[in-house]
Structure 1
Amino acid sequence: MHKMRVAMLRNLLRISAFVLFFGTILLTGTAVLEDLFGNFRQQRSDFGSTFAGFNNETGAGHFIVPNTIHLIRFSQPEFSFIDYICIQAAFRNHRPDHFYIHTNEASLQFRGKYWKLIERDIELRSRIRILPLEPPSEIFGQEIPPNLRPYHGGDIARIRTMMKYGGIYLDNDVYVIKNLDKYRKYEIAINWDEDQFLGTQVIIANRGARFLAMWLDSYREYHPELWYYNAGERPTKEILYRFPELIHRVKVQFGADTSLSLNLYVEKEFDWRSLDTIHLMINHRSYMDPYYNETPSFDENVIKSYPYPFGEMAREMVAASGMNNFINAKN
């Protein structure tokens, strides 16, 4: 009788061990499957921020960059004629959903004749949001000299702004010639001409673009004494030379080369319409433009007879915006 009980107990233990073994396998398999499906879901939800394996030559089959134009204005409370022309060109030739103007103006307001004209342009003004932004005073614990904060600080601010929002960043003197939607299917599109460093005047990017984070991180070695080292030279040499696939490389079409900009003021037959955008280099005309002293500044009257390509560009925006109607209208 005792032997039978021992045998039955042994069989029961074997059965229990068998059940426990297969139960463990089942639980483990379930956990593995849950992890697999969880990772799959996570990869899908993280597509916009990780871009692992993304092809920046072909891009996505749909827009992945917000249709928002970003402008940064540090200590620039008054809109100039050039500012007016460029924001009108961006509005009328690209048609963004919104403009975000990032500024350190305490009142979040601008002033001057040309800002008042923008405020009277209801269709344009309704798309503009003015957001507070201070120029960075340091980067990774390294001080940015006060006199460089509007410039080097502006370089850093545009990277951070794109990482926060995504969209289309434009320098204030970039003239948009054509619609830029074709670049909104890429992780990031940026000017990088042959044998040059990247250009920062136009950046079209998803906020999760890998290059943006790497670009910002490269400022851990900040050289304030070198004007374009951190903004252009270092990221080109240390990132893009090694990983060119991180960006959609735009050559020529963003008009970042200074020789293209100079043509606007010296070459009457320059084919500016073949470009998508062009940097006016307005703050550099004094030493670039041999005819600068003849026309040191521009307004709606000067450009009526200005014989070089910028005159035609400005006249188009004066006409398209109805600027003269606003000027002549009674308050």
Structure 2
Amino acid sequence: MRCGEQDFLNLIRVQGGAEPKLLSARTEPVKEGLYGDRREYVVPNIVHFIWFHHPLEFKFRTYLTYLSVYKFIKPHYILLHGDVTPTGYWWNRTVADVPNIYHVHVDDKKSMFGQNFAYPSQHSDVLRLYVILDYGGIYLDHDAIVVKSFNPLRKFDLTIGRESDYSLNGGVMLGRQGAPFLQLWLETYRSPNLNLKKWGYDSVRMAHHIWEYFPHLVHVEETSLAHPNYLDPQNYYRDPYDWSGNYAVHLMREQIAKIPNDPKSLKGYDCLLGQVMRLVYFGDQKLLSNVTWKGMK
């Protein structure tokens, strides 16, 4: 279903059962609609985030995630699904600098399909499948930074990044409404043999198994969405590291604690992370000296 702007908001009301709340400025609807003006696009230009079990205060790195989406994807909507909205200086900056952010209320859950979640992130693992199945669009974890347009990937029914020889990483993925691969993936959560205590199996290895049996249902990006990763963490801090082919850089848990917490610290941060974060914030990946940033004291 290729719906227009108002039809899409109505779809959220019907599917989610709640009124989507506009959190930031609303720009004028684009004339070509949610899918763009080229018939090859089957994925609507909508970005989804999920906010569960996070500290309420937004961090600088998370602000960069939203800013990167605004700069490079230029979505019609950014939908934040969850039971709360963030707080803090960088969240205030986010809603001031990034338009078209809506909050879609979703109650937190501790179980699904008769099984208790063993880890807080598992609700998000399931919800992201529902979100793309229901609405279509682009899903991003809050620790993924976009570095170029996703338009070349919007022609596929579903796109996901390969993390390793045995796993696909769902932290960055995009698909059309009702994508069959996601329907199969979601069905695995209904299996009585599923062991949710095995962290990551349901969210990364199971997707890889489905791909092995149904490769025609998904487009897999080998390195552009999930590399570097936990298998080569030194590459986050290596210079040179060629990330020119990346659509996004997905930060791993181990790297987050080492990320600068303000723009001033980025200027001399000489590595992949520094380059990516400078590109998003300053518009230039090079090491910088004489620059200022909005709000600098």
Question: TM-score scaled to structure 1, two decimals?
Answer: 0.69
Q: 1:270 to 1:138 in 2, by over 3 A?
A: same
Q: 1:141 to 1:205 in 2, by over 3 A?
A: same
2:233 matched to 1:254? no
Task: Report matched runs for 1:177-256 at 5 Å.
Answer: 177-192=147-162, 195-221=165-191, 222-237=194-209, 239-256=210-227
Query: Per the alignment, in what secondary structure is the counterpart of residue 111 of structure 1?
Result: coil
Greater radius of gyration (CA): 1
Q: 1:236 to 1:318 in 2, by over 3 A?
A: closer
Residue 218 of structure 1 deviates from its aligned partner by 0.3
Q: 1:264 to 1:310 in 2, by over 3 A?
A: farther
Match of 2:142 among 148, 167, 172: 172
How much is the aligned-residue C-alpha RMSD, in angstroms?
A: 2.5
Paired with 1:159 and 1:232, the residues of 2 have a C-alpha distance of: 13
Which AA in structure 2 matches 1:327?
G
Paired with 1:138 and 1:275, the residues of 2 have a C-alpha distance of: 35
Paired with 1:296 and 1:129, the residues of 2 have a C-alpha distance of: 27
Q: Structure 2 unaligned runs (5+)?
A: 1-37, 285-290
Match of 1:276 among 235, 247, 252: 247
Structure-1 residue corresponding to 2:275: 312
| Number of residue pairs aligned between Structure 1 and Structure 2 | 251
Which one has a larger percent helix, Structure 1 or Structure 2?
Answer: 1
Deviations 1:194-245 (A, max 9, x none): 62311111111012110111101101233122011111212322x2211111
Question: TM-score scaled to structure 2, two decimals?
Answer: 0.77
Which deviates further from its counterpart, 249-258 or 270-279?
A: 249-258
Which AA in structure 2 matches 1:88?
L
Structure-2 residue corresponding to 1:23: none
Which deviates further from its counterpart, 253-262 or 68-77?
A: 253-262
- After TM superposition, where is structure 1 displaced by more than 4 Å over at least 4 residues in a row? none
Paired with 1:210 and 1:90, the residues of 2 have a C-alpha distance of: 26
Task: Report matched runs for 1:1-331 at 5 Å.
Answer: 62-76=40-54, 77-105=56-84, 109-121=85-97, 124-125=98-99, 127-145=100-118, 148=119, 150-192=120-162, 195-221=165-191, 222-237=194-209, 239-258=210-229, 262-281=233-252, 283-285=253-255, 295=258, 297-320=260-283, 326-327=294-295
Deviations 1:293-330 (A, max 9, x none): xx565321222221212112222222249x9554159x
Identity of aligned residues (%): 26
Which AA in structure 2 matches 1:214?
L
Residue 257 of structure 1 deviates from its aligned partner by 4.7
Q: 1:102 to 1:254 in 2, by over 3 A?
A: same
Q: 1:240 to 1:317 in 2, by over 3 A?
A: closer
Query: 2:59, 2:261 within 8 Å by CA — same for their partners in 1?
Result: no
Residue 179 of structure 1 deviates from its aligned partner by 0.5
Query: Per the alignment, in what secondary structure is the counterpart of residue 99 of structure 1?
Result: strand
Which deviates further from its counterpart, 188-197 or 111-120?
A: 188-197
Deviations 1:29-69 (A, max 9, x none): xxxxxxxxxxxxxxxxxxxxxxxxxxxxxxx9521111000
Residue 263 of structure 1 deviates from its aligned partner by 4.6
Which deviates further from its counterpart, 178-187 or 305-314?
A: 305-314
